[in-house]
Amino acid sequence: MTEGLLKDKFGRTIRDLRISVTDRCNFRCFYCIPDEDIVWKRRQEMLTYEEIILIAEIAVGLGVEKLRLTGGEPLVRRDIEYLIENLARIPGVHDLALTTNADGLDKRAASLRAAGLHRLTISLDSLKPETFKEITRRDALQSVLDGIEAAMQAGFPPPKINCVVIRGLNDMEVADFADFARATGISMRFIEYMPLDNGHQWDRKLLVGGREVLERIQERHALVPLQRDAPSETALRYTFADGSPGEIGIIAPVTQPFCGACSRLRLTADGNLRTCLFSMVDHNIRDRIRRGDTRDQVADFMIGTVLKKEEGHRINEPDFVQPPRTMSFIGG
């Protein structure tokens, strides 16, 4: 197959495949999957590891260079190290990452590193036990902090820590998170609250814009902007002016959309390609594999799907409709 064939009608080349390995999660963050009685997909509906590996191989053959495993919570799927080992062996994979809530990561970090995982991104929305519990519906802050420490001890580069900033809940911790970055050397990423909750109760009044987050940090610390590593990078990055370790990133998809440089394609745990987090349409690749399509036929399907990629999300448009599938089903 020829490399670099995953290009949409707006001239954007797909280099990044986000792979959701499960819709399940052991947390119940209110902006994602708060319901305790949620109905999960049946096992036979989920992609097997072999199917995921096949899709990844085809995608890399078409020019994808970065793979990220997401969920749900990917660490709740059994034997995830097996999948990582096989994805790491694919020629052309330059970056293999995993997004996790880090609960229990202290016991898994070494095995994930040994399997060939390159990087970790960890979700952490509060440094206060009670606020953490209010957001996640779980009393697991210390487990997450232990996981972050274990990841660095296992030899991973300092992880990216994602914090969804929500007004009146954790926005007063923004500068404290900057202190956390300075103390640990991690890369702290602040993400705007997006309409991807399963209760469809997103309220723009709870949104804390990226510029406001930056201003709150700068009240305590002087920052120096960094150049983006690539045009498709989602975060505006900063380092501390006094040379302290750590990094700050602002991801502002609502107030400062970056759709024009998007290089991402998503694979859901039940085998659908999604061209945008906010797509209203799924493109079923699982059934094509299970009916016996050849690699070239699957590749052609992927090429055709990317040509349907939207120009951008419509969060700020009056006719915006929130997608029926939530973040846990789509993958971050």
Cβ atoms within 10 Å of 279's Cβ, excluding its own: 19
Q: Residue 74 has which token pair?
A: 């990917």
Confidence (pTM): 0.90
pLDDT band (50, 70, 90) for residue 30:
confident
Give the pLDDT of residue 327.
54
Give the pLDDT of residue 224.
97
Give the pLDDT of residue 196.
60
6-24 pLDDT, tens digit each:
999 999 999 999 999 999 9
Amino acid at 111: S
How far, in Å, are 54, 153, 265, 274 from residue 7 at the CA level?
20, 39, 11, 14
Domain locations in the chain as residue ranges: 16-330
pLDDT band (50, 70, 90) for residue 330:
low
Nearest to 273 by CA among 325, 205, 234: 325
The DSSP line for 223-284 is: EEE---SSTT---EEEEETT--S-EEEEE-TTTS--GGG--EEEE-TTSEEESSTT-S--EE
CA torsion angle 307 308 314 315 (round to 10): -90
Measured distance CA(274)–CA(282) in Å, rounded: 6
pLDDT band (50, 70, 90) for residue 228:
confident
The CATH number of 16-330 is which of 3.40.50.2300, 3.20.20.70, 1.10.287.610, 3.30.465.10? 3.20.20.70
Measured distance CA(237)–CA(251) in Å, rounded: 9
Assess whether pLDDT exceeds 50 at residue 239: yes
Whether 103 and 55 have beta carbons less than 8 Å apart is answered as: no
Beta strands 272-274 and 283-284: pairing type? antiparallel
Nearest to 122 by CA among 181, 173, 47, 171: 181
138-187 pLDDT, tens digit each:
999 999 999 999 999 999 999 999 999 999 999 999 999 999 999 999 99
173-218 pLDDT, tens digit each:
999 999 999 999 999 999 998 766 555 565 778 899 999 999 999 9
266-304 pLDDT, tens digit each:
999 999 999 987 787 899 999 999 999 999 999 999 999
